[in-house]
């Protein structure tokens, strides 16, 4: 998978501009994105950010459900755009197809013949009923990699349940770990089950494409919102499966490390992460805390006496404003930080320096700024950055339908 040269100009949504902007490790690959809402579209956007040509297939008339998810909506009153849709569809093309019609099925078959990857997140069995079973897909294109994302998994006793992010955050245990305490389960502030299943899916697609280089055949990659949530239980999972404990929410403090969390100071709150005994010795000395007293002697002691420890730390912090406190923590080498609002995050020079904001030209909204992709690429020989920097705004519904049909006709 060879990367292409990076361009830097802001581009529009035209077919020519999209082809010119194609850069990155997946340049030259084609993805047909049949998915809607967030899990599948996020996976498709990740592949598009890596340079793949991603053709989003939408229902005629209303398109992806997220085109109607709001407020907020932006743009002129007669052509409002949902910011939700803008969040997960950059660098894609759009074609509207009625997959139950003969024409829609024919166009989709043509796309599949030319694609490297198909992304879908229908409920298990729906694609089969539309006439595009796995067997048919690989009959049309034996090299096709199929990414299939479901809510609860593609088999098992509950495979037919509808999967929505918050439902899975609860069902898969994440909400039981999140909140101020055991009686206050809270959802994560972003649709984390959707996002992570999309990320796992894209990761699986890349592995399947790599294997295709050896075998010449594509395969089916399956994941689910349930799998994604269980897949990130991390140390909380082994607390349950190995130690036999049932982890529960305990607010903004780490269950296994102390002090590690959010602490009050004179004019607000700061976060600290004292993750080793060496850091604890430095921290306790810097803030005049008796770090050798029996309750605080080891990390295990500090975890057991967390409430007492929090009082001691906040007593030490009470004489500091947040800026002065963060400066002192930094000087002492203690990992620390503030809690930023999103407007503060997007104004932060460090965020800008990492390419995490991109400017795109939207056909209705004009130039807008979107959160950008989280990966950067560099030439290993000379450290020259090869990251794709030209991006396209999420498309209007069927904006590329004519061009895509013409392309299929040329290739037929």
Q: Are 310 and 304 in contact (CB under 8 A)?
A: no
Catalytic residue among 64, 194, 398, 400: 194
CA dist 23 and 52 (Å) reads 8
CA dist 386 and 8 (Å) reads 11
Q: What angle do CA 249, 281, 292 make, to 5 degrees?
A: 85
Q: Which residues contact 65 (CB under 8 A, 6 or more apart)?
A: 36, 37
Q: Which of 297, 322, 325 is nearest to 309 (CA)?
A: 297
Q: What angle do CA 366, 19, 52 make, to 5 degrees?
A: 100
CA dist 136 and 280 (Å) reads 61
Q: Which residues contact 19 (CB under 8 A, 6 or more apart)?
A: none
Q: What angle do CA 235, 236, 237 make, to 5 degrees?
A: 90
98 is catalytic: no
Pairing of strands 53-58, 268-273: unpaired
Q: Which residues are catalytic?
A: 194
């Amino acid at each position: 998978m060879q990367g292409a040269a990076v361009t830097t100009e802001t581009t529009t949504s035209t077919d020519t501009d999209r082809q010119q902007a194609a850069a990155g490790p997946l340049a030259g690959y084609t993805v047909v994105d049949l998915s809607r809402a967030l899990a599948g579209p996020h996976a498709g956007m990740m592949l598009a950010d890596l340079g793949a040509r991603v053709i989003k297939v939408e229902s005629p008339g209303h398109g992806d459900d997220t085109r109607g998810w709001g407020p907020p909506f932006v743009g002129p009153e007669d052509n409002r755009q949902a910011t939700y849709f803008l969040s997960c569809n950059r660098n894609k093309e759009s074609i509207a197809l009625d997959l139950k019609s003969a024409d829609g099925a024919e166009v989709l078959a043509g796309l599949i013949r030319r694609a490297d990857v198909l992304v879908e997140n229908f409920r298990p069995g729906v694609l089969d009923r539309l006439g595009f079973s796995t067997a048919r897909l690989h009959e049309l294109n034996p090299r096709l990699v199929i990414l299939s994302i479901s809510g609860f998994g593609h088999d098992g006793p509950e495979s037919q349940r509808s999967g929505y992010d918050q439902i899975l955050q609860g069902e898969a245990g994440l909400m039981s770990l999140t909140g101020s305490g055991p009686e206050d389960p809270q959802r994560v502030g972003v649709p984390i089950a959707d996002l992570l299943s999309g990320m796992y899916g894209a990761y699986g697609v890349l592995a399947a494409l790599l294997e295709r280089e050896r075998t010449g055949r594509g395969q089916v990659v399956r994941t689910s919102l349930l799998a994604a949530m269980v897949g990130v239980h991390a140390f909380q999972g082994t607390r349950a499966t190995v130690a036999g404990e049932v982890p529960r929410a305990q607010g903004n403090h780490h269950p296994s490390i102390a002090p590690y969390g959010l602490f009050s100071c004179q004019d607000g709150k700061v976060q600290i992460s004292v993750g080793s005994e060496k850091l604890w010795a430095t921290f306790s000395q810097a803030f005049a805390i008796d770090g050798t007293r029996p309750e605080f002697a080891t990390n295990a002691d500090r975890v057991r006496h967390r409430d007492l420890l929090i009082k001691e730390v906040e007593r030490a912090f009470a004489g500091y404003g947040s800026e002065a406190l963060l400066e002192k923590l930094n000087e002492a080498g203690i990992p620390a930080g503030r809690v930023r609002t999103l407007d503060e995050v997007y104004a932060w020079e460090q965020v800008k320096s990492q390419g995490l904001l991109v400017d795109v030209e939207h056909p209705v909204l004009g130039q807008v700024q979107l959160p950008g992709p989280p990966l950067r690429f560099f030439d290993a020989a000379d450290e020259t950055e090869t990251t794709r920097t030209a991006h396209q705004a999420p498309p209007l519904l069927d904006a590329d339908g004519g061009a895509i049909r013409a392309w299929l006709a040329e290739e037929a």
